[in-house]
Chains A and B, each alone.
Chain A
Amino acid sequence: GAGVSQSPSNKVTEKGKDVELRCDPISGHTALYWYRQSLGQGLEFLIYFQGNSAPDKSGLPSDRFSAERTGGSVSTLTIQRTQQEDSAVYLCASSWGGTEGSPLHFGNGTRLTVT
């Protein structure tokens, strides 16, 4: 596709349920990022994938969060046993990677609401 695609665009779930968020990066982009954006706060780094290298998971806030990237393309972010503080917009971004000036291209995000 022309840009980064995320689904669903909105997700409302009950506390304690698991959710899966999907990201389709721009074709050919080797680097993929997940960020979280809460109201009035900056984007919070969650996880980074680059090619076949081991991902940088240093930003995942707890072991309830996990992510994978299959075939170097599509990525899924999974949140288990969701809590109300997980409510936020989850943004995925991709870039060419390996080039300092290569900007991140963001998807429109998934707005997650935990009730």
Chain B
Amino acid sequence: GQNIDQPTEMTATEGAIVQINCTYQTSGFNGLFWYQQHAGEAPTFLSYNVLDGLEEKGRFSSFLSRSKGYSYLLLKELQMKDSASYLCAVRNDYKLSFGAGTTVTVRA
């Protein structure tokens, strides 16, 4: 089975940094994805990790530790437009299993 946990909500101030953690226990592993989803819109791809370590993409970075079943998404220099839900998803073969998502609210 698949078990993917992430916090329900986080609040941060514009310009700050927020770290969204994701822990997983899955029967197989072929990579971990992070998606961003604004209310009423489609999830959009942010990052992919398959090997341990940090992947950096502009203001967003994602980290993976396969031995710990742990990942985080780091959002730097927060902007109001970053207010959204962030979804952690684990790939097992072709299937992606998603966590319930973390709603991030950025305050001015």
- CB pair A45–B97 under 8 Å, yes or no, is yes
- CB pair B94–A48 under 8 Å, yes or no, is yes
The smallest beta-carbon distance between B76 and chain A, in angstroms, is: 22
Cross-interface CB contact of A106 among B4, B44, B91, B99, cutoff 8 Å: B44
- CB pair A56–B95 under 8 Å, yes or no, is yes
> From B8, which residue of chain A is reached at the shortest CB distance?
A40
Q: Which of B1-37 contact A (CB under 8 A)?
A: 4, 30-31, 33
Question: Does A113 make an interface contact (CB < 8 A)?
Answer: no
Q: How many residues of A contact B (CB 8 A)?
A: 23
- CB pair A103–B99 under 8 Å, yes or no, is no
With A42-B4, A100-B30, A103-B48 already in contact, the answer to whether A108 and B98 are too (CB < 8 A) is: no
How far apart are the CA atoms of A109 and B41 in the complex, in Å? 8
Q: Among the interface residues B43, B98, B101, which one has the most CB atoms of the partner chain A within 10 A?
A: B43
Across-interface contacts of A4 in B (CB, < 8 A): 42
Add 19 more A-B contacts to A45-B95, A105-B45, A108-B42 (CB < 8 A). A4-B42, A31-B94, A35-B98, A40-B100, A42-B98, A43-B87, A43-B89, A45-B96, A56-B95, A100-B31, A100-B50, A103-B33, A103-B48, A104-B33, A104-B96, A106-B42, A106-B43, A106-B44, A109-B42
Measured CB to CB, the residues of B under 8 A from A are: 4, 30-31, 33, 41-45, 48, 50, 87, 89, 91, 94-101
